[in-house]
Amino acid sequence: MSDSKDLPLVSVIISSYNHADYIEACIASVMAQTYPNVELLVVDDGSRDDSVTRIRRLQEIHGFDFVAQENKGLSRTLNETIVRSKGSLIAPFGSDDIMLPERLALQVAHMRDKPEVGICAGNVETIDEQGRVRAKQKPRPARRLGFDDIFLGQQPGAPAPTMLFRREAIEAVGGYDPEIRLEDLLMKLKITRAGYMIDIMDEVLAQYRTHGHNTYKNLRFMVDNVMKTYAIFRDHPAYEEVCARFINSMLMKCARDDKPLARELFGRLPRRYWNRKTLRAVGRYLLPARKPRG
């Protein structure tokens, strides 16, 4: 990637953990960006597979910054790597996802004259473990989000594999919080609460890979970390309503197959927030759990 002094430097940060099957395609997609002023920093966060060997092989070819470390967790790794990075724009990127070639060029052009935009994002298409595109989804229209749009769920949010941050926005909110492991939601809320906007472009900018270990499939993890995140903003007048809506959505997902979690969530949901979704979850709870596949 050649240097262009008149263009802002973009620091792409990949923190990899046990993604040996995907990391090579991920790194290749960064190296294939049409935007010419990119630095790539890759950190292996204590993988137990052969990720390090594969990354070092690519490092010898491309010369990017690479650190292999004991496991520290994603938020700590991102904070430490951001400090080492030099770009005015930061793109944390999942080691199982793929950037489309024009992604960074489109985002940098969009953000150039918009200092109020702390995060720029775009649409994603979903791929499977082998990289095959799943059923095509209609791209969502371009939109601008403020704090209430995200906290109250008034508009669709920013897909994590496409988020490009201004360094000054990350620094303004003190970086990532190591105590909350669902880092993307908290950063979106903190940055918009600080007065920045999130612009989401209508272009498809990345491919999001679905597989057996995606974070969103760990329902207990999602409940614990989303509720911790919302609690930081408990001064908002709609805080209880926001929590109740999230609990109802998670009840629909866990009521049949994770009955201990469902019982806990029923107990955390005030009766005044029971609605049709809650009653549907009760119906699912009364059904026998499905047998796991395999």
pLDDT for position 5: 66
Tokens of 13: 């940060």
Give the model's confidence band at 136: pLDDT under 50 very low, under 70 low, under 90 confident, else very high: confident
Give the model's confidence band at 1: pLDDT under 50 very low, under 70 low, under 90 confident, else very high: very low
Q: Work out the percent of the chain whose per-residue pLDDT is above 90.
A: 86
Phi, psi of 256, deg, nearest 5:
-85, -40
pLDDT for position 84: 96
Instruction: Assess whether pLDDT exceeds 70 at residue 122.
Output: yes
Give the model's confidence band at 281: pLDDT under 50 very low, under 70 low, under 90 confident, else very high: very high
For residue range 13-69, list pLDDT tens digits in order: 999 999 999 999 999 999 999 999 999 999 999 999 999 999 999 999 999 999 999
Give the model's confidence band at 129: pLDDT under 50 very low, under 70 low, under 90 confident, else very high: confident
For residue range 54-101, list pLDDT tens digits in order: 999 999 999 999 999 999 999 999 999 999 999 999 999 999 999 999
Phi, psi of 201, deg, nearest 5:
-80, 160
C-alpha–C-alpha distance, residues 88 and 66, integer Å: 20
Structural domains of the chain, ranges and CATH numbers in brackets: 10-209 (3.90.550.10), 215-285 (no CATH)
Cβ atoms of residues 222 and 215 within 8 Å: yes
Instruction: Assess whether pLDDT exceeds 90 at residue 294.
Output: no
C-alpha–C-alpha distance, residues 187 and 150, integer Å: 11
C-alpha–C-alpha distance, residues 62 and 57, integer Å: 9
Instruction: Assess whether pLDDT exceeds 90 at residue 291.
Output: no
pLDDT for position 2: 42
Segment 256-264 mean pLDDT? 95
- List CB contacts of 87: < 8 A, sequence separation 6 or more: 8, 9, 10, 11, 39, 167
Cβ atoms of residues 59 and 28 within 8 Å: no
Segment 136-153 mean pLDDT? 93
The identity of residue 216, as a single letter, is Y
For all residues of the chain together, what is the average pLDDT? Answer: 93
For residue range 183-237, list pLDDT tens digits in order: 999 999 999 999 999 999 999 999 999 876 555 568 999 999 999 999 999 999 9
pLDDT for position 135: 75
Cβ atoms of residues 209 and 21 within 8 Å: no
Instruction: Assess whether pLDDT exceeds 60 at residue 3.
Output: no
List, in sequence order, every residue forming a beta bridge with 13; answer none if it has no partner.
Answer: 41, 92
Instruction: Assess whether pLDDT exceeds 90 at residue 139.
Output: no
Give the model's confidence band at 138: pLDDT under 50 very low, under 70 low, under 90 confident, else very high: confident
- Segments of the chain assigned E as strands: 10-16, 38-45, 65-69, 89-94, 98-99, 117-127, 143-145, 164-166, 197-209
Phi, psi of 33, deg, nearest 5:
-65, 140
